[in-house]
A and B are shown apart, each in its own frame.
Chain A
Amino acid sequence: MATSGRTARPRVAVAKFASCDGCQLTILDLEDQLLEIVSRFDIVEFPEATSRRSPGPYDIVFVEGSISAPEHLDAIKELRKQARVLVTIGACATAGGIQALRNWADHDAYRAAVYTHPEWIESLATATPASEHVKVDAELRGCPIDPGQLLELLTAVLVGRRPQIRDEAVCRECKRKGIVCLVVAGGQACMGPVTTSGCNALCPTYDRGCFGCFGPRAGANARSWSNGLLKSGRPPEEVWRLFAGFTGYAEPFRTVITELGKTKG
């Protein structure tokens, strides 16, 4: 990516919408690389890390969180105007996050069930990814994002090439690592075949089926996978729950959830 000069560090902002801040913390958790990062990037806006504020324009804006409240609608558009490159980070910003499950539910009823004074809560009926509102230049997936992918993105910006972030099934990472398939050998439910990689098969490494937090990979055959899970004897509720996780609002998971929602009633 071109910067304003050879010595000038890219101006970086980190912004958040509806989210848990876990992805921002992933940036701060890069302890071994932080000094190098701040020596190469001018992080001017990062509320999670500093109270110092700085207006745009920015070279790179990292956006965490989904668009869930009325004020988010303008804010994301304003950020886009200020950003040369807008990168969404995490399941909330890239897919709507776990809060996007309300997109299938009665928003008012949820609000009334959770808050004593629901009338004080200003929120949208849906939680949506930033890409539904503005153009997004790059995504880092996951809940939270993978520090390795974040570093690769930052490195690629500095070197001036495309980040080498693969879009392949989690199964491939399992196979390269030599993890015995939890589905075939363990009868576990797992979203690996339809979920994009990047976590280095984190959950399967600890004998837990993939939660799908990195979201659907390109060309994911979600319908066949949900059929396969149903065929293996899992009730539709369970398969629905498996797809309706952190990234359920992203297609093609969204379609599967909607269809399963009809059958499970």
Chain B
Amino acid sequence: MITSPALSQAAAARQWFLAREDLGALVEAIRGTGRRVIGPAVRDGAIVYDEIQTAADLPSGWRDVQTAGSYRLERGADARVFGYSVGPTTWKRFTFPPNLPIATAHKASFGFEQPAPEVPPVAFLGVRACEIAALAIQDRVFLGGQFTDEDFRARRAAAFIVAVQCTNSSSTCFCTSMGTGPEVRTGYDILLTEIDEGFVVQAGSPGGAAIVAKLPTRRPSHAEAGAAVDRVESVRTQMGEPLPMAGIGDRLKLQLDNPRWAQVADRCVECGNCTMSCPTCFCTSVIEASDMDGKSSITERQWDTCFDVAFAKVAGGDFRARPRDRYRQWLTHKFSTWWDQFGSSGCVGCGRCITWCPVQIDVREELAAIAPPIAPVEHPVAVEPVAASPGSYSIARLASARPETEDTTTLSLTDLDPAFLEGRPGQFVMIALPAFPAVPISISRFRANAIDLTIRAVGQTSTALVNLHPGAKVGLRGPLGTFWPIQEAYGRHAVVVAGGVGLSPLHGLVDALVANHDRFESVSLFYGSRTPEDQLFRDDLAAWTASKAIDVVVTVDRAGPEWKGRVGVVTNLFDMISWDCTKVTAFVVGPERMMQASVQGLISKGVPTDRIHVSMERHMECGIGLCGHCQMAGRFVCKDGPVFRLNDLGDMFNREGI
């Protein structure tokens, strides 16, 4: 019976008190209306949902202790009837039976017949908040679209719902994280909240009110009504902080290539217990049972699971051939693509998939590992930037302009606000001229009283900048963004990988590595450019080499006759690495394709992904995370970057179109 929305708020808010010894009257009253009562009963070491004849069948005084892969019953300290949390049975067993004949066929008449659902009226006793949410999800899945499941509709309509507030939770419960509990708010005919001496009773429908009217109730005392509220609230406290589920659907979609899928699939035995115990999983298969002469057959629908090895098989092969494909299918459907299809999560946080997993896989742990919340990147900026807001600029003066290559020039800026001199390698400034829009430029070098900006003349502002004469004024905002975490390379092999003008944001880092070279196991720079003529900072490269503090290896893609050095892409240079790559901290900048190839190369050599740092380039206008241009999924490159730990980017790093 679907709760009537027309029921007045006032009636719903009315409460009665039913003594525990009078609970039998409720069972009798419901049975008196011709309904079978299905409710909790102790069987085979668990509280299952089964037919209830009298209140004596109910699990008075029993408690359940649940952890991943374990369920045990024990006697509780009091006689509470509903002091357990949810058990192995789900109500879908009664709304969506595990085995259901859906058609018969007769050869002689060539007739196919669909049996009309014959559903006797029933009452579900002891439905929890998460289970009401699950029934609502089933409503959307089976009845919310163009095609509907009429058998489900009949069974759902035939069910009278006696809900029960949870007064206890298990370690596997996480309804507060999924927003489905612990309190029942809607979707019931009668609602019970169990307190010390009995139940606070509410009616949620005219049918519910009619039953309540037959019970030996009285008005609850103030203390009783208060205790009912407190009990539910204590369950919320018991469950602790909700898990960070915000954006979980999108977070999972960015992690389709996460190596954790294969790891969890190695543990998973694909028994399907999670899906069969799930109150919302709805996958089925049909089997045909014919009599021996083939004259008639019955088509039976059975609960199935997407973990089945043949579930996505066709004649030519299997679309989800690997266990990791199937685990990913399940978890992403529950928490991500379910939203796309049905407008809600497919998970209600009941925790059955955790308790009933015989190899103790906990979806909460898997979600946290596979798609952790996108936390703001915690890189303290070295110095408070000046002229942070767009439109306000700090004025600096051009000291000198030094051509690097045909189209790239290094400007030394002086007469600066001291904040710029206190910037850190990897940070950038927004630089503007009157009538020219601001552009982001990395600080390539910190000098005593100046900073260097190395600028490629590719747009209107950059062209105007490189054509300035010494003494010209420019407007600056900054220093902005994150910087290279140089201290993370202390005691390790520091490897800098640069491609083309990517050496510019790395220049200051290399200076710092050289100056502190004895703090590192080794320091190396691998630098690739298109041609020898495209190399930046040729004098500095020579000086670094001469310092012996750093191994500088350069390569070019295409060489002229003058070139005596290496030819080939920068990733080829990784073959020279002879150290234990688990002890490498790498810093990578270049064109995105080059960075992807370099990162791939470093990972394949064994460099840990949390030890690889990259600097990303995106369209920036404001530089402070307000204009939206530089967004990369959950990040703004200007304020969360431009320097990122590879792990913090996850799948975004390798995806096109982000």
Contact = CB atoms under 8 A, between A and B. Distances in A.
B45 A172 contact: no
Contacts of B46: 180, 185
Given A158-B292, A158-B293, A172 B358 contact: no
B292 A167 contact: no
Of A33, A169, A194, most buried by chain B (CB within 10 Å of CB) is A169
Interface residues of B, number: 47
Nearest to B294: A159
Interface string B285-307: 00111111110000000111100
B44 A179 contact: yes
B359 A224 contact: yes
Interface stretch (B17-25, B265-273, B430-438): B265-273
Contacts of B601: none
B44 A164 contact: no
A144 interface: no
A40 B292 contact: yes
Contacts of B98: 175-178
A180 B44 contact: yes
Contact of B309 (A152, A192, A193, A218): A218
A161 to B, nearest CB: 8
Interface in A100-152: 151-152
Interface stretch (B64-72, B76-84, B514-522): B64-72
Nearest 8 pairs of A and B residues by beta carbon:
A175-B276, A176-B98, A193-B271, A171-B271, A180-B44, A159-B294, A193-B269, A219-B309
Interface in A6-47: 33, 36-37, 40
Interface string A159-200: 100001011110110011111110111110010111000000
A181 B269 CA distance: 15
A228 interface: yes
Interface string B66-100: 00011111000000000000001100010000110
Interface string B497-520: 000000000000000000000000
B48 interface: yes
Given A175-B273, A186-B45, A217-B309, 16 more contacts: A40-B292, A155-B292, A167-B310, A171-B276, A172-B272, A172-B303, A175-B277, A176-B302, A178-B48, A180-B44, A180-B88, A183-B358, A184-B355, A221-B268, A225-B269, A228-B358
A217 B303 CA distance: 18
Interface of A: 33, 36-37, 40, 151-152, 154-155, 158-159, 164, 166-169, 171-172, 175-181, 183-187, 190, 192-194, 207, 217-221, 224-225, 228
A47 B72 CA distance: 51
A159 B290 contact: yes
A180 B45 contact: yes
A219 B323 contact: yes
Contacts of A33: 292
A225 B271 CA distance: 10
A147 B172 CA distance: 40
A175 B358 contact: no
Nearest to B359: A228
5 contacts: A175-B273, A180-B44, A184-B357, A218-B310, A224-B267
A128 B310 CA distance: 27
B57 interface: no
Contact of A228 (B48, B269, B276): B269
A231 B360 CA distance: 11
B564 interface: no
Contact of B356 (A151, A184, A190): A184
Nearest to A217: B309
Contacts of A152: 289
B308 interface: yes
Contact of A224 (B44, B268, B272): B268
Nearest to A33: B292
Nearest to A169: B271
Contact of A180 (B48, B289, B293): B48
Contacts of B289: 152, 164
Given A159-B294, A180-B45, A193-B358, A224 B308 contact: no
B43 A181 contact: no
Contacts, number: 125
Contacts of A159: 290, 294
The CB with the most chain B CB atoms within 10 A, among A159, A172, A179, is that of A172
Contacts of A207: 44
B305 to A, nearest CB: 7
A41 to B, nearest CB: 10
Nearest to B47: A180
Contacts of B72: 185
B84 to A, nearest CB: 13
Contacts of B294: 155, 158-159
A172 B287 contact: no
- Give the residue among A36, A155, A176, A181 with the most B Cβ atoms within 10 A: A181
Interface string B568-611: 00000000000000000000000000000000000000000000
Given A184-B70, A224-B268, A176 B276 contact: yes
Given A168-B308, A180-B44, A224 B277 contact: no
A176 to B, nearest CB: 4
A224 to B, nearest CB: 5
A172 B276 contact: yes
Contacts of B308: 168, 172
A64 B48 CA distance: 41
Nearest to B64: A185
Contacts of B358: 171, 181, 183-184, 190, 193, 225, 228
A169 B292 contact: no
A96 B334 CA distance: 41
Interface in B161-177: none
Contact of B305 (A172, A192, A194): A172
A194 B269 contact: yes
Interface string B397-419: 00000000000000000000000
Contacts of B359: 193, 224-225, 228
Nearest to A192: B271
Contacts of A167: 309-310
Given A172-B276, A224-B266, A151 B292 contact: yes
Interface string B608-645: 00000000000000000000000000000000000000
A49 B48 CA distance: 46
A172 B45 CA distance: 19
Interface centre among A185, A218, A225 (most CB of B within 10 A): A185
A221 B48 contact: no
Interface in B241-282: 266-273, 276-277
Nearest to A190: B358
Nearest to B288: A164
A217 B494 CA distance: 50
Given A158-B292, A181-B356, A224-B266, A164 B287 contact: yes
B62 to A, nearest CB: 13
B294 to A, nearest CB: 4
Contacts of B360: 228
Nearest to B93: A178
- Point out which of B269, B270, B356 has the most chain A C-beta atoms below 10 A from its C-beta: B269
A204 B309 CA distance: 23
Nearest to A179: B44
A102 to B, nearest CB: 29
Nearest to A225: B269
Given A175-B98, A176-B302, A207-B44, A221 B356 contact: no
Given A154-B292, A176-B98, A176-B99, A221 B269 contact: yes
Nearest to A220: B269
A155 B294 CA distance: 8
Contacts of B270: 169, 193, 219, 221
Contact of B272 (A164, A169, A220): A169
A82 B538 CA distance: 84
A175 B272 contact: yes
Interface in B26-78: 43-46, 48, 69-73
B89 A155 contact: no
